[in-house]
Structure 1
Amino acid sequence: MLARRFLWVIAILIMLVIAGLIGYWLFGMQIMRAAMVPGEAFTASTAGPPADYSKPAGWSAHPQRTDDPTRWAPQGYRAAPAPAVAVFYIQPTSFFDRKRWNGPVADAGMNEQGDKFLRLQASLFNGVAQVWAPRYRQATFGTFLATDTAMAGRALDLAYGDVVTAFEAFIAAQPADRPIILAGHSQGSLHLYRLLKERVAGTPLMARVVAVYAPGWPLSVEADLPALGLPACTTAEQTGCLQSWQSFAEPADIGPIRATFDSADGLSGRPRRGTTMLCTNPLNVEAGTRRIDQSENLGSLVPAIDFTGGTITPRGLGAQCMADGRLSIGEAPAEFTAFILPGNNFHVYDYPLFWANLRADVERRASAFAGASIPAASPAAPLPEDLD
């Protein structure tokens, strides 16, 4: 009798789990919206004061911070001791509180989670570049699920204002001839697009841009890109160009992202509806939709369970830009299981999935920009012992 009851309990638990997964798949966005969107009206004062970007404490990654998470590297790689390039990196959303629209720069939880993202994302630049990543009063995660676009817009404007102030401090701290890379992810990429349009395009800074890396936020080829002053990257050694992608496993549902994408005008003023969503394949950076086999993947960065580091796994997955603008990675990789968003969206892993290829890409473009080989501080691919 006890054995039969035990089996019934197990069966019920399995049914509940299956029902939960089906519910998440069908109603994931509605569930997330109810749990994450702030219930109060936007008030700037709740975000606290902005960071002081004249001091290292105003930055998560800074040359004078000894605890800079972007100096970490997985086994087989190392950071450059005297990098020739400077990177301005805008962090993704790491504030998930629904009690306020923007996260205070002193929020310990936001900064701890932000450092984890930086370690797994921006560390790929440290082979040739010094990373600067500002702490800013980022819009909370629920901002991007909100139906009240006015409230969400005010939260994003506040966050962007901090990014602009930090960018001005970053530029002022660099020698006038130092090459720069501009990068971000998710909310960071959204702010980066606006920054490119308003503060970089048409200015002398354009001549110093090695490349722009902005995955995790959709960009229209026709309605957004012309306003940024940079073309999309289509060859391996091209400089002064931009890359963007959004990673999905199969079966994928990009519908909610496309609906948001189509609902507004682009940065050029032209409607995005019906336009092409830019997709760069990080495995080869070529134009077109040819699938790139996993044999060309130099290594994915598989995060540790606590996201404080990770290990490189070479040849883990291939990728293909699809007609709808998403980057398909095929069947969901077993090594990446946490934080998968509805629709099989591997948003959190846009950088880690292609970490080694992107690192090689950065080093190659930096060398091409300089017109001569910059001494690499790490191999362009995992060391031989990592490929065994």
Structure 2
Amino acid sequence: MARKFLYGIAILIMLALAAAFTYRYWGMQIMRQAMVPSAEFTPLPEAPPSAYARADMWIARPDKPGNPALWTPEGFQPAGDPAAAVFFLHPTSFLDRSRWNAPLDDARANNYAEIFLRGQASAFNEVGAIWAPRYRQATFGAFLTSKQQAQQALDFAYRDVLAAFEQFLDEAGDRPIVLAGHSQGALHLSRLLAERIAGTPLADRIVAAYVVGWPVSATADLPAMGLPACEGPDQAGCILSWQSFSEPADPSLIFDTFDATTGFTGASRAGTPLVCTNPVTGRAGDSAPAQANLGTLIPDSRLANATMVPGRIPARCDGRGILLIGSDVPEMGPYVLQPGNNYHVYDYSLFWANIRADAARRLAAFGA
């Protein structure tokens, strides 16, 4: 019986190794088949000019009941009358492969978007009133292919983002502005900086831009984005960016795609250094021990709530500009991306309390 048991364990180990080997060498092909739409790109109707004047076009805005961006963990409270205005773009929440862009009424995508706002945009509710638009974002599969339809889907999503931003400017008045986004939201935010804000009076109103979970080339992108990278924690009018990996890290899947593209300056991004802000210290290219982490949000199994745990996650910028968080990472949930030990989904949660303190510090510097 013992020998049969050992044989069974050996077979399970072999199956696990075979599965890992298969994913390592054919995982991207499998993901593409499962997630990339096979349909032709068909644009959804253009949003009318006044679309974002309607409250239902926003997941979060100051007058919206049940605003998910006002969630806070125990021990924290949103400000009653915050000084700044925050424009937040949530990451990809649409996973359907039947179409290239999300419809505005997709219940599953909207539910995920609200979860993202609770865990990400909430970090800014002490410094600013938060506007977070619904936008007909590109589906997840658009990031796994070089098909022309993928870029068409991203361009279409950006048009919604731009329309929402113009309405945000009308409603925010003359308050200082914090820009923040994650993943696909950060991609659109970087484009918004380069195409709508750089070289305009708006650039002087930006407290900081948190372009998180999307690579920003220090040479091929940053010079065209109108703001410098944040070098220190008390600097205002600058850009923060990071991408989180536990060790041993393998960012090759990201770099392979990123290096095949052209930056906002028109130069190739291949091999260029990335902007890496350490979110624990607020410094570029920095290193910080776990004890300096003011608090990580560890979500529950239903993603309905989260517990604040300080002093667990270190951070150091490494290599071309990825953020390493050590190898002893607490269980965050099932969404760590493999292969590579990519903690992309948790880029904000890992450093939630430090991001909150960082935004307050930069707003104070802006006012000074």
Return the TM-score normalized by structure 1.
Answer: 0.90
The separation in 1 between residues aligned to 2:69 and 2:240, in whole angstroms, is 20
Alpha-carbon contact 1:201-1:229 (below 8 Å) kept? yes
Q: Aligned-pair distance for 1:65? A: 1.3
The separation in 2 between residues aligned to 1:279 and 1:151, in whole angstroms, is 31
Picking from 132, 138, 149, the partner of 1:151 is: 149
The answer for the alignment partner of 1:65 in structure 2 is 64
Alpha-carbon contact 2:291-2:311 (below 8 Å) kept? yes
Deviations 1:198-254 (A, max 9, x none): 111111111111000011111111110011110000111100000001101111111
Which secondary structure does the structure 2 equivalent of 1:173 belong to?
Answer: helix
Deviations 1:251-277 (A, max 9, x none): 111112112221121101111123211
The separation in 2 between residues aligned to 1:249 and 1:21, in whole angstroms, is 18
Give yes or no for the alignment of 1:207 onto 2:227: no
Alpha-carbon contact 1:92-1:185 (below 8 Å) kept? yes
Instruction: Give the letter for the 2:156 counterpart.
Output: L
Instruction: Give the letter for the 2:323 counterpart.
Output: L
Deviations 1:140-185 (A, max 9, x none): 000000131x11110000000000000000001122x201101100
Which secondary structure does the structure 1 equivalent of 2:321 belong to?
Answer: coil
Q: What is the identity percentage for the equivalent residue pairs of Structure 1 and Structure 2?
A: 52
Change (3 A) 1:157 1:52: same
Q: Aligned-pair distance for 1:12? A: 3.9
The answer for the alignment partner of 1:341 in structure 2 is 337
Picking from 326, 341, 350, the partner of 1:353 is: 350
Instruction: Give the letter for the 2:143 counterpart.
Output: F
Alpha-carbon contact 2:37-2:97 (below 8 Å) kept? yes
Instruction: Give the letter for the 1:292 counterpart.
Output: A
The answer for the alignment partner of 1:381 in structure 2 is none
Structure 1 residues 42-81: aligned runs within 5 Å: 42-45=41-44, 52-81=51-80
The separation in 1 between residues aligned to 2:257 and 2:320, in whole angstroms, is 14
Deviations 1:21-57 (A, max 9, x none): 4433443322211211111111113x79679311111
Instruction: Give the letter for the 2:69 counterpart.
Output: T
The answer for the alignment partner of 1:282 in structure 2 is 279
The answer for the alignment partner of 1:225 in structure 2 is 222
Give yes or no for the alignment of 1:249 onto 2:249: no
The separation in 2 between residues aligned to 1:23 and 1:332, in whole angstroms, is 26
The separation in 1 between residues aligned to 2:93 and 2:76, in whole angstroms, is 26
Deviations 1:289-308 (A, max 9, x none): x5311111111111111222
Instruction: Mark the runs of 5 or more structure 2 residues left unpaired by the alignment.
Output: none
The separation in 2 between residues aligned to 1:8 and 1:49, in whole angstroms, is 61
The separation in 1 between residues aligned to 2:7 and 2:284, in whole angstroms, is 55
Alpha-carbon contact 1:183-1:214 (below 8 Å) kept? yes
The answer for the alignment partner of 1:376 in structure 2 is none
Return the TM-score normalized by structure 2.
Answer: 0.95
The separation in 2 between residues aligned to 1:70 and 1:168, in whole angstroms, is 20
Q: Aligned-pair distance for 1:8? A: 5.4
Structure 1 residues 67-146: aligned runs within 5 Å: 67-146=66-145
Give yes or no for the alignment of 1:314 onto 2:313: no
Change (3 A) 1:170 1:17: same
The separation in 2 between residues aligned to 1:59 and 1:17, in whole angstroms, is 44
Alpha-carbon contact 2:272-2:320 (below 8 Å) kept? no
The separation in 1 between residues aligned to 2:74 and 2:117, in whole angstroms, is 17
Change (3 A) 1:332 1:135: farther
How many aligned positions are there? 366
Q: Aligned-pair distance for 1:332? A: 5.1
The separation in 1 between residues aligned to 2:176 and 2:321, in whole angstroms, is 30
Deviations 1:66-106 (A, max 9, x none): 11111000011011111111100011000000110000011
The separation in 1 between residues aligned to 2:3 and 2:47, in whole angstroms, is 61
Instruction: Give the letter for the 1:294 counterpart.
Output: A
The answer for the alignment partner of 2:163 in structure 1 is 165
The separation in 2 between residues aligned to 1:169 and 1:49, in whole angstroms, is 13
The separation in 2 between residues aligned to 1:9 and 1:65, in whole angstroms, is 56
Picking from 323, 331, 342, the partner of 1:327 is: 323
Alpha-carbon contact 1:183-1:212 (below 8 Å) kept? yes
Change (3 A) 1:332 1:134: farther
The separation in 2 between residues aligned to 1:21 and 1:337, in whole angstroms, is 20
User: Once structures 1 and 2 are overlaid, which stretch shifts more, 305-314 or 225-234?
Assistant: 305-314
Instruction: Give the letter for the 1:330 counterpart.
Output: G
Q: Aligned-pair distance for 1:369? A: 1.3
Which secondary structure does the structure 2 equivalent of 1:306 belong to?
Answer: coil
Instruction: Give the letter for the 1:260 counterpart.
Output: T
The separation in 1 between residues aligned to 2:164 and 2:288, in whole angstroms, is 37
The answer for the alignment partner of 2:235 in structure 1 is 238
Alpha-carbon contact 1:49-1:104 (below 8 Å) kept? no
Deviations 1:297-324 (A, max 9, x none): 1111111112222111101111111122
